[in-house]
Amino acid sequence: MVITKLLLFVACVCIRFTAGHEFFSSTDQVMQLVEEERTLLRLFSGYIIKLIKRLRFEWLAIVESTQESLYKDFQELLYSDELKIPLKRDLEGAALGLIRLQEMYKLFPENITRGEMSKRLSVWKKLTMMGFIAYEEDKFQHAFHWFLYSLKKFNHPESLSSIRSVTKKDLLKYLGSSAYHFGSLHVAIYFYQQLLNLDPTDEDVKYELMLVRKRRLYTSSNPDIFTLNMTSSTVTPMRHSAGERLNRGRQRALSCRYSTGGGNPRLILAPLKEEVEWDEPRIVRYHDIISDKEIEILKNLSRPHLSRSQIGLGTVSNIRSSQSVFLKEGNIVVVRVNQRIADATGLSMETAEPLHVQNYGTGGSYEPHYDARDDQNERIATFLIYMSDVEIGGATVFPKVGVALQPKKGSAVFWYNLHKNGDVDLRTMHAGCPVLMGNKWVANKWIHEFGQEFTRPCSLSELE
Ligand SMILES: *[C@@H]1O[C@H](CO)[C@@H](O)[C@H](O)[C@H]1NC(C)=O
Ligand SMILES: *[C@@H]1O[C@H](CO)[C@@H](O)[C@H](O)[C@H]1NC(C)=O
Ligand SMILES: *[C@@H]1O[C@H](CO)[C@@H](O)[C@H](O)[C@H]1NC(C)=O
């Protein structure tokens, strides 16, 4: 019932697009949007400029404006496959990403919309939309806080003019319902009572109120809806920051040095800047392993192929947090990068997987996992190249050992996933922290066992 209402509320987009691009799962595509937005502006600046104040949170306005538009050219442009206007689900994806960040970093709407962001989110409708999306995803606490924030803005005279689709009554209803679903019954009662004050004859509200009161008689738990809990997700910020602290402490003791890869002739002329990030398991960072120009080319090669990260066959990941592509081996830069990885690690690239390029979106994260899979020809080692800096968030964390590796453009980190006896090194479980701010690009090279017999001999020892 509620879902239907919600759908009615947000289903204001009826433009058919043939090209479905998911902008929220790739910040890079958001960047490209800026360009396309400029084209639009040039053509119809007078008409739509007031609608396009900010990029991300004004998408809905852009799409809505197209429905009102009578300009033929404008329509043609919109229906063309080349122009990638974000879809409603892109907007919802961005909103979900934001909610995921809130869970991860314990953020209230106030924390996100303050300052610069408050301008972007200033349109009250978007605030309620955040609430509805959180509500639909059963994230009732965050839904509650977004609705509460909307209600505060609602009382603000400025916002009155922009209110169309949602009434104060609707807001109170959703506040009551969110609190009820969260289990905070006294708060639910408070809001239903407010509703009843608005309209003492409303039978539906009376009934709801009766239900909540009844439930309270039988329920002892009463969680505090105003206190944000740590996310149940596996990488907790606590662990993350502890890792960072620990890591900084350790880094001081571990030295930086130049490496020639054990006398590799290619490296004697151009030694690698190698830094030991962690000793057990050994994680090494190579600085300036790839130039900005090369990064640019790898990104350019990847862009046309970026597709949603998929889990399993044919099913699209529900947590749409990144887009990725395996790059073909033919390109000269790809060959050069592969050679450099071989030189740095001393391992053979013969059986390695193609370079895997990944771009994360806002809130983009990667759940804890092992790179090694249960496989005959196992992923013996991982070479992870950072192709961008990330302003906030986006660290690669090893929760079992408390290491947090910060993305640094042009650098790469390397570790073995297997012990020398072939067993998976359980300490190498790692995860990508959510990107709070920035555009995270990485390239993975997964190196396999076969072909490494001479460079990394096997051991029968239990301890290696
Ligand atoms: C976030 O907002 C809440 C509520 O306004 C406030 O109490 C808290 O201090 C803010 N936290 C940060 C980190 O700004
Ligand atoms: C929040 O965390 C506290 C302490 O960890 C726990 O007792 C409480 O049940 C949690 N509340 C919810 C709603 O998850
Ligand atoms: C990458 O693509 C952009 C846009 O197509 C282009 O301007 C740029 O020159 C390309 N960079 C390289 C290094 O090829």
CATH number at residue 195: 1.25.40.10
Question: What atom in ligand 2 is closest to the CA of residue 232?
Answer: 14
Task: Determine the distance from the C-alpha atom of residue 241 to the mean position of all C-alpha atoms in its chain, rounded to a whole number.
Answer: 18
The Cα 150–Cα 159 span in angstroms is 10
Whether 437 maps to a domain, the answer reads yes
* Cα of 298 from ligand 3 centre, angstroms: 10
Domain boundary among 164, 195, 217: 217
pLDDT of residue 180 exceeding 60: yes
CA-derived radius of gyration, the chain: 26
The Cα 160–Cα 156 span in angstroms is 7
Mutation to probe ligand 1, out of 104, 111, 148, 153 (largest number of atoms < 8 A from CB): 111
Length of the chain: 464
Q: Choose between 445 and 5: higher pLDDT.
A: 445
Residue of minimum CA distance from atom 10 in ligand 1: 111
Integer angstrom CA distances of residue 383 from 140, 269, 341, 441: 40, 22, 7, 14
Residues 139 and 54 in one domain: no
Whether 271 maps to a domain, the answer reads yes
Nearest ligand to the C-alpha of residue 301? 3
pLDDT of residue 250 exceeding 50: no
The CB of 297 under 6 Å from ligand 3? The reply is yes
Question: What atom in ligand 3 is closest to the CA of residue 300?
Answer: 1
The Cα 152–Cα 77 span in angstroms is 39
pLDDT of residue 412 exceeding 50: yes
What's the confidence (pLDDT) of residue 22? 41
Q: Give the other-Cβ count within 10 Å of 165's Cβ.
A: 12
Note the helical H segments in 49-123: 59-68, 72-79, 88-105, 109-113, 116-120
SS3 227: coil
Whether 463 maps to a domain, the answer reads no
Residue of minimum CA distance from atom 6 in ligand 3: 300
The CB of 226 under 6 Å from ligand 1? The reply is no
Handedness of CA 27, 387, 245, 242 (dihedral sign): positive
Q: Choose between 412 and 221: higher pLDDT.
A: 412
Average of per-residue pLDDT across 390-397: 80
205 CB burial (10 A radius; 0-12, 13-18, 19+):
buried
Whether 88 maps to a domain, the answer reads no
Residues 432 and 291 in one domain: yes
What's the confidence (pLDDT) of residue 212? 94
Instruction: Express each pLDDT in 422-436 by its tens digit.
Output: 889 999 988 887 776
The CB of 71 under 6 Å from ligand 1? The reply is no
pLDDT band (50, 70, 90) for residue 398: confident
Ligand 2 site, CB within 6 A: 223, 229
The CB of 67 under 6 Å from ligand 1? The reply is no
Residues 263 and 396 in one domain: yes
pLDDT of residue 233 exceeding 80: no
pLDDT band (50, 70, 90) for residue 367: confident
Residues 313 and 279 in one domain: yes
Q: Which domain holds residue 61?
A: 2-79
Residues 34 and 122 in one domain: no
Residues 73 and 173 in one domain: no
Task: Determine phi and psi for 35, rounding to 5 degrees.
Answer: -60, -50
The CB of 110 under 6 Å from ligand 1? The reply is yes
Average of per-residue pLDDT across 20-45: 52
What is the identity of the amino acid at 384? L
What's the confidence (pLDDT) of residue 356? 94
Handedness of CA 307, 313, 314, 315 (dihedral sign): negative
Residues 34 and 110 in one domain: no
* Cα of 462 from ligand 3 centre, angstroms: 50
Strands (DSSP E) along 120-236, which ranges?
A: none
Residues 392 and 351 in one domain: yes
* DSSP structural state of residue 254: S
Query: Which string of b and e fits 257-270 if b means at least 16 CB within 10 Å?
Result: eebbbeeeeebeee
Instruction: Express each pLDDT in 124-143 by its tens digit.
Output: 667 788 888 899 989 999 99
SS3 5: helix
List the structure tokens of 95.
């909103």
What is the identity of the amino acid at 170? D
What's the confidence (pLDDT) of residue 332? 94
Measured in Å, how far apart are the chain's first and last C-alpha atoms? 59
Of the spans 52-56, 57-61, 420-424, 432-436, which averages the highest pLDDT?
420-424
Which stretch of 176-190, 331-345, 352-366 has the lowest confidence by average pLDDT? Answer: 352-366
* Cα of 64 from ligand 2 centre, angstroms: 41
Side-by-side strand order, sheet with 430-432: 366-369, 430-432, 396-398, 403-405
pLDDT band (50, 70, 90) for residue 401: confident
Mutation to probe ligand 2, out of 103, 185, 229, 232 (largest number of atoms < 8 A from CB): 229
Residues 268 and 409 in one domain: yes
pLDDT of residue 291 exceeding 60: yes
Residue 269's domain is classified under what CATH number? 2.60.120.620
The Cα 141–Cα 147 span in angstroms is 10
Nearest ligand to the C-alpha of residue 297? 3
- When divided into structural domains, the chain yields a total of 3
Average of per-residue pLDDT across 23-43: 55
Q: Full-prediction pTM beyond 0.85? A: no
Nearest ligand to the C-alpha of residue 294? 3
- ∠ CA(187), CA(192), CA(198), 5° rounding? 135
Q: Choose between 363 and 316: higher pLDDT.
A: 363
Nearest ligand to the C-alpha of residue 110? 1
* Cα of 108 from ligand 2 centre, angstroms: 17
The Cα 210–Cα 214 span in angstroms is 6
DSSP secondary structure string for all residues of 339-371: HHHHHHH----TTPPPPEEEEE-TT--EEEE-S
Residues 42 and 112 in one domain: no
The Cα 185–Cα 197 span in angstroms is 18
Whether 293 maps to a domain, the answer reads yes
Whether 384 maps to a domain, the answer reads yes
pLDDT of residue 364 exceeding 80: no
Average model confidence (pLDDT) across the chain: 72
Which residues lie closer than 8 Å to 307 by C-beta, 6 or more apart?
Answer: 323, 324, 325
What's the confidence (pLDDT) of residue 422? 85
Average of per-residue pLDDT across 250-274: 61
SS3 361: coil
Instruction: Express each pLDDT in 327-337 by its tens digit.
Output: 988 899 999 99
What's the confidence (pLDDT) of residue 292? 97
Whether 129 maps to a domain, the answer reads yes
Whether 323 maps to a domain, the answer reads yes
What's the confidence (pLDDT) of residue 189? 95
The Cα 65–Cα 48 span in angstroms is 7
407 CB burial (10 A radius; 0-12, 13-18, 19+):
buried
What's the confidence (pLDDT) of residue 133? 87
Residues 56 and 131 in one domain: no
Instruction: Express each pLDDT in 65-122 by its tens digit.
Output: 444 443 455 455 455 554 455 555 566 766 777 787 777 667 788 777 654 444 444 4
Average of per-residue pLDDT across 305-312: 57
Question: What atom in ligand 3 is closest to the CA of residue 293?
Answer: 13
Q: Choose between 386 and 262: higher pLDDT.
A: 386
For the chain, percent of residues with pLDDT exceeding 70: 59
Residues 271 and 420 in one domain: yes
Which stretch of 90-104, 343-357, 410-424 has the lowest confidence by average pLDDT? Answer: 90-104
